[in-house]
Every structure is written in structure tokens, then in C-alpha cells.
Amino acid sequence: MTDTTTRIAPRVSPWNNPVIRGWIWQFVLLVALLVLTWSAVENAATNMASRGIPTGFDFWNRSAGFDINQTLIPFTNQSTYGQAFWVGLVNTLLVSVIAIVLATIIGFLVGVGRLSKNWIVARLATIYVETLRNIPLLLQLLFWYNAVLKPLPNPRDSLSLFGAIYINNRGLILPEWHWGQGADYVLIALCAGIVAAIVYTLRARRLQAATGQQSPVFFISLGLVVGLPLLVFAVMGAPLSLTVPQLRGFNFVGGIRVLPEFVALLLGLSLYTACFIAEIVRSGIQSVAHGQSEAAHALGVRQSLTLRLIVIPQAMRVIIPPLTNQYLNLIKNSSLAVFVGYPDLVQVFMGTVLNQTGAAVQVIAITMGIYLLISLLTSLGMGIYNQRMTLKER
Amino acid sequence: MTDQSVARSTSYLQTAPTPAAPPPISSRGAWGWARANLFATIPSATMTILFVLLLVWAVPDLFRWAFVDAIWSAPDGAVCRVQNTGACWAFIAPKFDFFMYGTYPREALWRVDVTLAAGAVLIAWLLWPDSPRKVIGAFLFFIVYPVVAYFLLHGSPLVGLSVIDTARWGGVLVSLLVSAVGIVVSLPLGVALALGRRSKLPFIKLACTVFIEFVRGVPLITVLFMANTMLPLFVPENWSPDRLLRPLIGVSLFAAAYMAEVVRGGLQAMPKGQEEGAMALGLTYWQRMNLIVLPQALTIVIPGIVSTFIGLFKDTTLVAIVGIFDFLRTVETARLDPAWAGPSISTTGYVFAALFYFVFCFGMSRYSLYMERRLAVGRKH
């Protein structure tokens, strides 16, 4: 009976067919989004016209007429809004890169410290993490800026370190250095040293993979990277002169001034992000099976070497993806600069430029686009890294 | 031979086990503990000594600043200015109303108090693990409470309460309001976005993915700027949203994108068999999601959800950038009051604010740990 009848799919009404339903849902969403976008654009056009808000990018090449107190690329009040954008972007990247380095160092130390067998170290690391991550970053920034750096003495009563570095409420004043004749050779030696160290490390690694023989990679690399330039520096007759800052009247002349806003932002960002990095490092280390370090100890490997050669390399696989996320968070959080007045992208471009030109839509779109670009590039890099690092299982 | 004679002739044999010897003195008591935990190796001992010196150097000064030299009550800042050595706690009490309510009219403060108290009771009802009838609690909190809170706080001629403009709202009230709205909106919206991102329908998937990745790729400040300056442009001119509503929308959308990623993690961690089993039973998509997948997936990611809430709570401080008087902004304003201006006012204000945020965030994270353990007990069997 059954084998003679061919099976016919049960007849479903089109409304109950999941495929058709799916398309209907999608169509509804598409229409809704289109209507929303269209009405937003329409309204924006009329509103911007009635309020006289510029719609083009003409402002980009107009003279900005304001000064920025930290510029790594040339900028005067004659420069254009476009140049102000680049100054802001460079300032954002500067503080982010330095804060990332500091946060990574502090975070790794605290993360390892939380797992330390030393009771007091573990306790202090826990207190550090639990305190800082439960207090808003903005509050920490304001604390560093208004409660720590602003009450510092004025330039006349500066705190002085070695008579060359001065700390006061206008910032940190460091000696300025000038390279003299022959400094190029030092730079060349440094580059050559780095290249040689990389080549040597790769060769040592290949040697170890082939024969198991270890080479003193660390000391030879150190000698190549630091020793070689130093040697050339000495041979060239020390072509470096320092200008020690001098107090003249009410302020210092000579020397490099690091803004207190920069220091506050740097301290806030790196200490805050460090406690998240510490947690990532701790969970990464704990994710390495205990047998790994036990086996290493059984082979007579010292505790410090076990950590460096056995545990950390395996933990890195777990640590790197969330670590990158924290780096991205740090870059995004650097936009809090606007609250302490550090001239970053948001403060310069979304603050001053937006106020002066009124080009809200364009300015906000460009700023968001930049952060988005940084995020997307990082995610792309992360994807590639993850593909390479995933355990190759058979 | 009798047993006794055997016993006598082999009296050198021990018949009872020797009592265990006490551990060596070096591993017993306080000294043993200190040896194992503080002075196990030379580097460890060095660090112990260094940190103890650091504590000896810092803790007494901190203690003296916060308690011994602190000024606990004073009519104005004069006393704090004269003895500028310790914290000026006296500054908190006169400013307390400002910290709590901003410039909300003094005669209408009961409305805020009632709203906050009702909210606290409902939240306790929902969070207490053994409380009865949570469904009613959830209905009251998510549906009834927002409406009642709106009429109480904002007022309306309909209920006979005077309208109080949102420009006068401030302090803890606004901080809690922004975070509560953010939490209430972001959780359902985040779940919807996460389901959309895992949908098999290509356009829905694309739309959700683009939204999530876009919001997660930009700082909250830019989202707030956008909500503040661009939202009024996108709607007809007479619809222009209230200036407190704009950051609320911004914060909610921002939190929803992060929530979506947390929920997606939970969805991905679910074994595929659960959904396939539900499918085999003939459940529809929404039945599968509501009855099988989401209850389990959300339970897995409770820690992630709570840490998103904590992040949201800390991020409410950023609404100050668009001119909203949240708690931190009121502290910022109060510390600049010339009547109180003094060397220790800033630090006092910031420490007070830090305590407030710490209590909330730490409390939330402890609650999540507690729930995690409680739920894990059920799963172990």
C-alpha cells in the first residue's frame, strides 16, 4: 500500500510556509528601515536648511583660527579645520599607544601578582583590581587631574628631580635633547642592531628546533640592540646635548613640557585598563592545565622558567583575543579626554570644530568613522591571528 | 602458648599505632604560615618587606586624612580651609540634597523618594531568589512602574501633580534613572538583536550585524553627541525630543549592542541538540526560543549580563558631556562652590563619589557571583 503511493509534501497555506514567512518578515524590516531612513534624511534636510547648518565639506579647508596646546604636527591658528582634525587624531593615537604599553605592563604584573603564593602580594593585587574596576573611569580621570595634578605647586616652587626634571601645575618639564654631528650613525647602528637581533633570534630558534641546543638569545639581542648603538655613540664622541629647563620669571624656558591633561589621561587610562588586563591574564594563566606546570617542575624546571616557557605561551592563546578588546576599549575611552581638556580627536574635532562650523552631521560622521576604522582594522587583524593560533587538531 | 604469654614475650612489638607527631615548629602556627605565605623564597621575602614598608608609609597617613584630621561638621568651608590637613566630610551633609536630586524643587522631593523606594522594593522582589510570585513583580516593574514613575517624577495635570522640567532633575536620581532605563531597554533589545544576528534570514542578519558592529566600534561619547545634536535633526522640528530623553536613547542603544554580543555568546554555547529536540517536538520558532533556548542561554551568561550592567552604570557618568546633571556632575559642581572651596574639597568630593559607585558596582558583581553559584548547584546533579 504505502510503497505504491508517492509521498506528497503536506499542503501548507503560504502564510504557514516558513520560507515565505521569512521573506515577508525581511521585507517588512526592509521597508521599515527604508521609511525610517528616508524620513530622517527628509527631516534633516529641512531642519538643516531652516537652521542654516552647512551640508558640505567646505569647512575642511577653511582657516580654523584657534590654537591647540599640544601639537605633534605643525599647527597654528592660521591652519585649516582639516589640519586640526589630523592634530586631534595624532594626539589620540599618541596617548592611546603609550597608555596601551603602560596598561599591558601593569596588567601583567598585577595579574601574575593575584596568583602569587605571597599572601600580601596577592591581597594587594586583588584590592587594586576590585577598587579600580568598580569606579568609573571618568571619576578617576577627574581625580587625577583636579585632585592630584592641579594642586601641585606653581612653576616657581616646582618639585625638582635631579635638577633637570620639574613637576608643577603646568605639567612635567623634561630636558630637551638635541642630536649633534654623527647622530645619524647612531640611528643606523640601532636599526642594524634590531635587524641583527631578529636574525639571530630566528636562527637560534631554528637551531633549538633542530638540535635542542639553546643559545643565550636574550643577552646577545640586548647587546645588539642596546650595546651597538651605545658603542657607536661613544665612538662618535657623544653627539647629544641636553637643554635643561630654566625658570625665567613665572615659567620655564627650554625643555619639553608634558601637559598635565596628558599625564592625567595617561594615568587614568592605563591604571583603569590595567585592572581589566590583570583579570584577563589571571584567567588565562588559570586556564592552563595544572599538569603542565607540575610536569615542568617534575623535570626540574625552575618556577620562573616554568611560568615563562610553559605557562605563559599556552596562556597567550586565551589571553590575546580579550586583550585586543581591552586595547580597543582603551582607544575608545581615550575620548574621555574631552572632560579634562586634552586636545584629542573628540575634544578638537567634535568639540571646537563642531562648535565653530556647526557642521554637526559631517563632523560626527567623520569622528565615528575613524573610531570604526580602527576597530574594524583591529578585528581583521584579530581574525587572522586567531586563524593562525587555533590549535591544529586532526 | 596463651595469648598473654605471647604478648609478654613479644612486648617489644607495638600494638597501638604511634600518635602522629606534630608538624615541625617551622610549619606550625603564625610562624609557619608566615614562612609559607610571606617568606617562602628570597624574592618573595623581599617583596613582602617592600610592600609592608609601603603600607607602613601610606596607611597611617590615609587613616589620618580620612578620620583623625577630618572635619565632620562645619557651617561652611572656613574651618576646612584653616586646617587643611584632612578630609572635609562636613561638606557632604549640606550638599546632600543637591547630590541626590539636583535642583529638583525642594517641596516635591517626596515624589522622588516615593519613586526610588518603590523601585527599590520591586528590585528587591525580583532579585531575592526565594521571593514568591516573581511574574507579578516583573509585570509591576517592567510595565506599571515606568508609567507610575513618569507621572510621579515628571508630573502631569492629569494626576494633579505639577510638571517639573527635566532640566531640574539631577544627582543620584538621574544616574539611577539613566542606568535603569538602559538596563530595562537593553536586555530585551539585546536579546532581539542577538537572535537577529543568528537568524537564517540574510537581510535580518545583516541589519543586526551592522548595527551591533557599528555601535561597538565607536565610543559612547560620540553616540551621546550624535543623540544630542543629530536626533533633533532627524525628526520634524516640533517633535524635538526632551534633552534628557536624547542621552537615554543613546545609552540604551549603546548598551543593547553590548548586551547582544553577551547573549550571542550564550546562544552559541548551547548544545545544538536542545534546539533540534524542540524542533522535533514541533515547536514553532518563538516557542523554541522562549521555552527552550533563551532560558538556558541567558542563565549561562548571567555573569556577562551583570558585567554589562556594571559597565552601563559606570558609563552613565558620561552623560555629563551633553549637559545632564548626573551624580558625578553634581559633585563636580559642588566642589567648585566658593563657600566651600578649599584644598581638600576636591579629594573629599571624589572619594565620596567613588564610594557611591563602588558600593553599587561591587554589590552587583557580588550578587552575580552568588546567583552563579546558586544556579550551578542545580546543574551539578
Neighbours of A40 (CB within 10 A): 15
| CB A255 within 8 Å of CB A171 | no
Neighbours of A29 (CB within 10 A): 16
Residues contacting residue A156 through CB under 8 Å, at least 6 positions apart:
A247, A250
- Separation between Cα atoms, residue B249 and residue B173, nearest integer Å: 17
Q: Which of the given ranges, A74-78, A173-177, B153-157, B328-332, has the highest pLDDT on average?
A: B328-332
- Measured in degrees and rounded to the nearest 5, phi and psi for residue B345 equal -65, -45
- Separation between Cα atoms, residue B316 and residue B249, nearest integer Å: 12
Q: Which of residues 319-338 of A touch B (CB under 8 A)?
A: 332-333, 335-336, 338
| CB A28 within 8 Å of CB A50 | no
Q: Is the dihedral of CA A288, A292, A297, A300 positive or negative?
A: negative
| CB B227 within 8 Å of CB B261 | no
Q: Tell me what the mean pLDDT of segment B374-379 comes to.
A: 68
A25 reaches B (C-beta below 8 A):
yes
The model's pLDDT over B137-150, given as tens digits with 9 standing for 90+, comes to 888 988 899 999 99
Strand ranges in A147-250 using DSSP code E only, listed in sequence order: 159-161, 165-168, 171-174, 176-179, 240-243, 246-248
Best A134, A330, A377 member to test B by mutation, with max B CBs in 10 Å, is A134
Element containing residue A253 per DSSP (H, E): strand A251-253
Per-residue CA distances from A4 to A7, A9, A10, A11 (Å): 9, 16, 17, 20
* Closest CB to A151 among B37, B225, B343: B343
- Separation between Cα atoms, residue B67 and residue B65, nearest integer Å: 6
Residue B161, SS3 per DSSP:
strand
Residues contacting residue A298 through CB under 8 Å, at least 6 positions apart:
none
CATH number listed for the domain at residues A43-151+264-394: 1.10.3720.10
Strands A171-174 and A256-258: antiparallel
Q: b/e string for A277-309 if b means 16 or more Cβ within 10 A?
A: bbbbbbebbeebeeeebeebeeeebeeeebbee
Per-residue CA distances from B265 to B252, B301, B367 (Å): 20, 7, 21
* Closest CB to B207 among A33, A46, A360: A33
B207 reaches A (C-beta below 8 A):
yes
> How far is residue A261 CA from its own chain's centroid?
17
Q: Which of residues 309-338 of B touch A (CB under 8 A)?
A: 310, 314-315, 317-318, 320-321, 328, 332, 335
DSSP state for residue B23 in the 8-state scheme: P
Evaluate if residue B2 carries a pLDDT over 70: no
Residues contacting residue B12 through CB under 8 Å, at least 6 positions apart:
none
Evaluate if residue B158 carries a pLDDT over 70: yes
Q: Which of residues 94-123 of A touch B (CB under 8 A)?
A: 116-121
| CB B250 within 8 Å of CB B224 | yes
Would the CB atoms of A372 and B217 count as touching at under 8 Å?
A: yes
Task: Compute, in degrees rounded to 10, the torsion defined by CA atoms B302, B308, B310, B311.
Answer: 160
Q: Is the dihedral of CA A91, A94, A97, A100 positive or negative?
A: negative
pLDDT (tens, 9 = 90+) of chain A, 394 residues, equals 445 555 666 677 777 777 888 888 889 999 999 999 999 888 888 888 888 788 788 888 888 888 888 888 888 888 889 899 999 999 999 999 999 999 999 999 999 999 888 999 999 999 999 999 999 999 999 999 999 888 888 877 778 777 778 888 888 888 877 777 777 888 888 899 999 999 999 999 899 888 888 788 888 888 888 888 888 888 887 777 777 777 777 777 777 888 899 999 999 999 999 999 999 999 999 999 889 999 999 999 988 888 888 888 888 888 888 999 999 999 999 999 999 999 999 999 998 888 888 888 889 999 999 999 998 898 888 888 877 776 665 5
C-alpha cell at A196: 641583527
Strand partners of residue A242: A177
- Separation between Cα atoms, residue B314 and residue B327, nearest integer Å: 11
DSSP state for residue B243 in the 8-state scheme: T
Would the CB atoms of A350 and B222 count as touching at under 8 Å?
A: yes
C-alpha cell at A43: 527631516
Architecture in CATH of B91-380: Orthogonal Bundle (1.10)
> How far is residue B51 CA from its own chain's centroid?
30
C-alpha cell at B193: 538583536
Q: How confident is the model at residue B3 (pLDDT cuts 50, 70, 90)?
A: low
ipTM score assigned to the predicted complex: 0.89
- Separation between Cα atoms, residue B222 and residue A92, nearest integer Å: 14
C-alpha cell at A391: 590549535
- Separation between Cα atoms, residue A216 and residue A228, nearest integer Å: 17
| CB B320 within 8 Å of CB B332 | yes
**Residue A345 identity (one-letter amino acid):** L
C-alpha cell at B52: 609592608
> How far is residue B87 CA from its own chain's centroid?
27
Give the residue among B107, B110, B108, B70 at the shortest CA–CA distance from B90: B70
Q: Is the dihedral of CA A11, A12, A18, A21 positive or negative?
A: positive
Chain B nearest-CA residue for A145: B346
Q: How confident is the model at residue B270 (pLDDT cuts 50, 70, 90)?
A: confident
Strands A165-168 and A251-253: unpaired
| CB B365 within 8 Å of CB B356 | no
On chain A, the residues whose CB falls within 8 A of the CB of B225 are 346, 350, 354, 364
Chain A nearest-CA residue for B313: A136
DSSP state for residue A11 in the 8-state scheme: P
Q: Tell me what the mean pLDDT of segment B302-318 comes to.
A: 93
DSSP state for residue B201 in the 8-state scheme: S
| CB B267 within 8 Å of CB B193 | no
Strands A256-258 and A251-253: unpaired
On chain B, the residues whose CB falls within 8 A of the CB of A33 are 207
Would the CB atoms of B357 and A136 count as touching at under 8 Å?
A: yes
Q: Any idea where the domains of chain B sit in the sequence?
A: 91-380
- Separation between Cα atoms, residue A268 and residue A99, nearest integer Å: 9
The model's pLDDT over B216-257, given as tens digits with 9 standing for 90+, comes to 999 999 999 999 988 888 888 778 888 899 999 999 999 999
Q: Any idea where the domains of chain A sit in the sequence?
A: 43-151+264-394
Q: Is B239 exposed, middle or buried (0-12, 13-18, 19+ CB in 10 A)?
A: exposed
- Separation between Cα atoms, residue A390 and residue B18, nearest integer Å: 56
A48 reaches B (C-beta below 8 A):
yes
Task: Compute, in degrees rounded to 10, the torsion defined by CA atoms A105, A108, A110, A116.
Answer: -140
The residue count for chain B: 381
C-alpha cell at A114: 593575584
| CB A263 within 8 Å of CB A92 | no
Residue A66, SS3 per DSSP:
coil
Q: How confident is the model at residue B6 (pLDDT cuts 50, 70, 90)?
A: low
- Separation between Cα atoms, residue B307 and residue B298, nearest integer Å: 13
Give the residue among A31, A30, A66, A49 at the shortest CA–CA distance from A361: A49
